[in-house]
Structure 1
Amino acid sequence: MIGLDSQARIWLCTQPTDMRKSFQGLSALVRNQLKQDPLSGHYFVFINRRKTQMKMLYFTGTGYCLWAKQLQQGQFPVPKSNASHHALTLADLQLLIDGIEVQKYRQFKRFKRV
């Protein structure tokens, strides 16, 4: 797994995305469709219609980074949502990348430093 900033939010775009888009196209989607600032340092995850390709766009202090994964078999288990974007935790992102779909789980409260 790539090293992610634990303070940054992770946003999953629930609408299918054209995977031919690169830095400028995906940052325009973040700005126009998700109504977020692509320079915020948050992570934005996009998945194609067939759910076989994923791209993650984020901005570091010096420029955009683009991470991509293409599955040779199977699909990414994208959660169903009526909204244009869905917030993910780092654990949710790891499960999504690994192709693990959790049908039902219960997460107990944990101490969180504020």
Structure 2
Amino acid sequence: MLNPHGNVRVWLCTTATDMRKSYNGLSAMVKRDLGANPLSGEMFVFVNRKKTQMKILYFDGDGYAVWCKRLEQGTFVTPDATSIKKPMSYGELQCLLYGIDWQNAKRFKRFSLSDSKVA
């Protein structure tokens, strides 16, 4: 089950990934290609060239976990690549997993503590 802690950071690798890679291969890609620490507890999302398969690598405190999904029809809607890694929120990751194009979705204004004036 994909159940990260609180405000986990999520990074999407925008280059196509060989889905035969597992723990060692994906963690090496995180170090080499993304320039990040795979032991950081952040989630790293990889998608294949056809955009029909996804793997998520994360370190949950005592070991690596790899979560995989293969679509039987359709493709994952990923953003245009301007750099090799793109930051995402966990909500955006869930939209990606459920086939929702979050980039074209309209976000409505919500209350936040930074909006209120506290005396």
SS of the residue 1:29 aligns to: helix
Structure 1 consecutive aligned stretches of length 4 or more whose deviation exceeds 6 Å:
none
Query: Aligned to 2:7, what secondary structure does the other structure show?
Result: coil
Cα shift at 1:7:
2.5
> Shift in Å at residue 3 of structure 1?
1.4
- Which of structures 1 and 2 has the bigger CA Rg? 2
Q: Residue 90 of structure 2 aligns with which residue?
A: 90
TM-score (normalizing by structure 2): 0.87
Give the structure 1 partner of residue 36 of structure 2: 36
Pair 1:27-2:27 in alignment: yes
| Structure 1 unmatched ranges of 5 or more | none
How large is the Cα RMSD of the aligned pairs?
1.7
1:7-53 deviation line (CA, Å, top 9, x unaligned)? 22000000000000000000000001000000000000000000000
Moved more, 104-113 or 85-94: 104-113
SS of the residue 2:30 aligns to = helix
How many equivalent pairs are there?
113
Structure 2 spans left out of the alignment, 5+ residues: 115-119
**Once the 2 structures are TM-superposed, how far is the Cα of residue 105 of structure 1 from its aligned partner?**
1.9
CA 1:14–1:55: 2 relative to 1, 3 Å: same
SS of equivalent to 2:56: strand
- Shift in alpha-carbon separation, 1:60–1:104, aligned structure 2, 3 A: closer
